[in-house]
Chains A and B, each alone.
Chain A
Amino acid sequence: MTDPKDFVAVVDSDVRKTPRRIAFITKRTSPQVHVKDEERVMTYPEVFFRTAVAIQVLAIILVVISLRWNAPLEGLADPMHTPNPAKAPWYFLGLQELLHYFPPVVAGVLIPGLVVMALIVIPYFNINIEAEGLWLRDKTRRLRIFGTVVVLFCIFLAVFDVWVALVPTLIVAAFMLLAAQTPPQITRGFRGWLASKPLSFWIMTWFLFELVVLTAIGTFFRGPGWSWVWPWRT
C-alpha cells in the first residue's frame, strides 16, 4: 500500500445555467421568442423519489386488497364439464360480447386486428397530430360525411342486433352534434371545450366508451347461454 494521501481531490460543481442557444434570424422572420427555458429538476433524487412514493402507495393498496380478498380458485379443471357461461378473463369480455353477435372471424380476428393496427398508426397520420377542432373548418361537408357514416354504421349495428354498441355510438354522436352546433364565439366552458376537440379525440372517446360498455356488459350482465341477466337479481 502506498502512503495515505494528505489531500482529497474534490470535483464539485453546481452549475445552474443551461447552455445558451444561438438563433440565426433570417429575413422576414420575427425575432420574437415564444418558448422560454423552463425550470428543470435533477432526476436523482427528485423524479426517483416521487416515483418510489407512488409505487409504494400502490404496493400498500395492493397488499391491503390481497389481505382482504382471496383470488378465485374453482375446482380442478374438467374438460368433460363446461361451466355455463364459460367466460374469458375480464379484459377479453368485450371481445366475447362481440362474438355473441358476429362470426368468430369478424369479432375475434378482424375487429381486434383492426383495433391494434389503428392504435399503432395513430401518431403517423397528420389528422391525429394537428389537433384542430373538428367543426372549425369546412363544417357543412364534414357534417354530411359524419351523418352518412353514423347512419350507415348504426344500420349495420341494428341489422346484427348489437344494441349494446349502438347506444354508446349514438351518445357520442349526440355530443359531436352538440359540438358542431356550438357558435364559434363560445370558446369557454363545456361547449367551448367540446367544440375544440379534433376528430381523433372523438374516435378515441367512442372507442373507450365502447370498450368500457362492452367489457362491463360481458362481465356483469351475461349469464347462462350468454343471456342477459341483471347482476343485482342473482
Chain B
Amino acid sequence: MANTLDRLADQVRENRIWRSIFRSGTGESNLHRALTVQQNVFLHLFSVKARKRTLEFRATWYLGALTFGTFLILVITGILLMLYYHPSVPQAYADMKDLQFVVSSGVFLRNLHRWSAHAMVFLVFAHMFKVFYRGAYRPPREFNWVIGVVLLLMTLLLSYTGYLLPWDQLAFWAVTVGSNIASAVPVIGAKMRFLMLGGTAVNANALLRFYVLHCVILPFAAVVLIAIHFWRIRKDGGIYPGESPAEGDAK
C-alpha cells in the first residue's frame, strides 16, 4: 500500500506539468533537497542547510517559528472575519453580534483571532528576550535585531488597531486611553492624534482608519519585514549556534 502510494506520488512529481512548476523533481538525495529550497521563491529565503545544533529545542525554544505560526493563523482567520465585517458605526458592533449568533462558527473564528493575537504579542516579547539572553543579536546579526525590534512595534500596532474594531466599550475606551497618550507628544502631539483618528475623538473616521491600518497597511509592512527578517537569518550565517563547542573544550 505504502509502496503504491510512493509510486503514485513519484508519478505525479515526474509528470510534465508538475516538473514545469517545481523544477527540483523527484529524488531523495541532498542535491534534490537543496534544489527544493533553492528553486522556490518563498523557501529561497532560507539556507539550504542548517547547523544541527540550532535545531535543538533549547537553542531557540522555536519562539520565532511559533510567532510566525500565530501570524499565519491571524492572516487566515482575519481574512475570514473580513467577510463578515463592516467598518462603520454602529454596524461593526452588530457584526460582532452576528458572528456570535448568526455566522456558523463565528464565535470560534473571533476567539481564535483574538487569542492568537494575544499569543503573538506574548511570543514576540518572549522571542526578543530569548534572542537577547543567547547573545544572538551580536554582529553580524545586529541589523536583524533592529528589524526584529521594528517587527515588535508592528505587532503592537497591529494588535492595538485590531482592538478598536469590535466597537464595544472595551475597544472604544482602550483606544481612547491610548490615543490620549499620543497627544502628550510635545508640539506635534495633537496633530498626530488628529491624523491617527481622523478627527478629535474616537469616532467612525477613527474606526475606518484603524480598519485600513489593521487589514492593509500594517499586515503588508509586516509581511515585507518578516521576509527580510527570515532572509537575513540566511545572510547572517544561519541561526545563532551559540558559543562554539570546540572553543569551550579548549578552555
- Asked if residues B172 and A77 are in contact (CB atoms below 8 Å), the reply is yes
Pick from A41, A67, A76 the residue with the most CB of B within 10 Å. Answer: A76
**Measured between alpha carbons, how far is A67 from B184 in the docked complex, in Å?**
40
In the complex, chain B residues whose CB is within 8 Å of the CB of A120: 146, 149
**Measured between alpha carbons, how far is A71 from B250 in the docked complex, in Å?**
55
* Interface membership of B166, Cβ < 8 A: yes
* Interface membership of B68, Cβ < 8 A: yes
Which residue of chain B has its CB nearest to the CB of A41?
Answer: B52
* Interface membership of B215, Cβ < 8 A: no
Given known A-B contacts A44-B33, A59-B69, A95-B181, A77 and B169 have beta carbons under 8 A apart: yes
* Interface membership of B223, Cβ < 8 A: no
Distance from A18 Cβ to chain B, minimum over Cβ atoms (Å): 9
- Asked if residues B180 and A55 are in contact (CB atoms below 8 Å), the reply is no
* Interface membership of A144, Cβ < 8 A: no
Distance from B187 Cβ to chain A, minimum over Cβ atoms (Å): 11
In the complex, chain B residues whose CB is within 8 Å of the CB of A82: 173
In the complex, chain B residues whose CB is within 8 Å of the CB of A45: 33
Q: A16-35, CB under 8 A of B: which get 1 and which 0? A: 10000000000000000011
Given known A-B contacts A41-B50, A67-B108, A109-B185, A89 and B174 have beta carbons under 8 A apart: yes
In the complex, chain A residues whose CB is within 8 Å of the CB of B146: 120, 123
Given known A-B contacts A45-B33, A208-B129, A86 and B111 have beta carbons under 8 A apart: no
* Interface membership of A145, Cβ < 8 A: no
Given known A-B contacts A43-B47, A122-B137, A105 and B186 have beta carbons under 8 A apart: yes
- Asked if residues A51 and B62 are in contact (CB atoms below 8 Å), the reply is yes
- Asked if residues B246 and A36 are in contact (CB atoms below 8 Å), the reply is yes
- Asked if residues A35 and B244 are in contact (CB atoms below 8 Å), the reply is yes
**Measured between alpha carbons, how far is A103 from B186 in the docked complex, in Å?**
12
**Measured between alpha carbons, how far is A92 from B47 in the docked complex, in Å?**
37
In the complex, chain B residues whose CB is within 8 Å of the CB of A119: 128, 149, 152
In the complex, chain B residues whose CB is within 8 Å of the CB of A90: 118
- Asked if residues B181 and A99 are in contact (CB atoms below 8 Å), the reply is yes
In the complex, chain A residues whose CB is within 8 Å of the CB of B62: 50-51, 54
In the complex, chain A residues whose CB is within 8 Å of the CB of B128: 119
Q: B92-135, CB under 8 A of A: which get 1 and which 0? A: 01001000100000011011111110110100010011001101
- Asked if residues B69 and A79 are in contact (CB atoms below 8 Å), the reply is no
- Asked if residues A72 and B170 are in contact (CB atoms below 8 Å), the reply is yes
Which residues of B23-53 have CB atoms within 8 Å of chain A's CB atoms? Answer: 27, 29-34, 36-37, 43, 46-53
Count residues of chain A with CB under 8 A from any CB of chain B. Answer: 74
* Interface membership of B241, Cβ < 8 A: yes
- Asked if residues A87 and B177 are in contact (CB atoms below 8 Å), the reply is yes
* Interface membership of B191, Cβ < 8 A: no
* Interface membership of B190, Cβ < 8 A: no
Which residues of A33-90 have CB atoms within 8 Å of chain B's CB atoms? Answer: 34-36, 38-48, 50-51, 54-55, 58-59, 62-63, 65-67, 69-79, 81-83, 86-90
* Interface membership of B72, Cβ < 8 A: yes
Given known A-B contacts A89-B174, A99-B181, A58 and B50 have beta carbons under 8 A apart: no
In the complex, chain A residues whose CB is within 8 Å of the CB of B65: 51, 54-55
- Asked if residues B72 and A71 are in contact (CB atoms below 8 Å), the reply is no
Distance from B44 Cβ to chain A, minimum over Cβ atoms (Å): 11
* Interface membership of B171, Cβ < 8 A: yes
Q: B177-211, CB under 8 A of A: which get 1 and which 0? A: 11011111110010000000000011100000000
Q: Which of B31, B113, B118, B246 contacts A34 (CB under 8 A)?
A: B246
Distance from A228 Cβ to chain B, minimum over Cβ atoms (Å): 19
Which residues of B141-165 have CB atoms within 8 Å of chain A's CB atoms? Answer: 141-142, 145-146, 149, 152-153, 156, 159-160, 163
**Measured between alpha carbons, how far is A75 from B65 in the docked complex, in Å?**
37
**Measured between alpha carbons, how far is A123 from B145 in the docked complex, in Å?**
8
- Asked if residues A62 and B174 are in contact (CB atoms below 8 Å), the reply is no
Distance from B198 Cβ to chain A, minimum over Cβ atoms (Å): 15
Distance from B47 Cβ to chain A, minimum over Cβ atoms (Å): 6
In the complex, chain A residues whose CB is within 8 Å of the CB of B135: 131
Which residue of chain B has its CB nearest to the CB of A61?
Answer: B119
Which residue of chain B has its CB nearest to the CB of A198?
Answer: B135
What are 11 A-B pairs with beta-carbon distances under 8 A? A41-B49, A42-B30, A47-B55, A51-B62, A54-B65, A66-B112, A71-B111, A79-B172, A87-B173, A89-B163, A104-B183
Cβ-closest 8 pairs across A and B: A123-B142, A104-B184, A55-B69, A77-B172, A108-B181, A66-B111, A71-B114, A86-B173
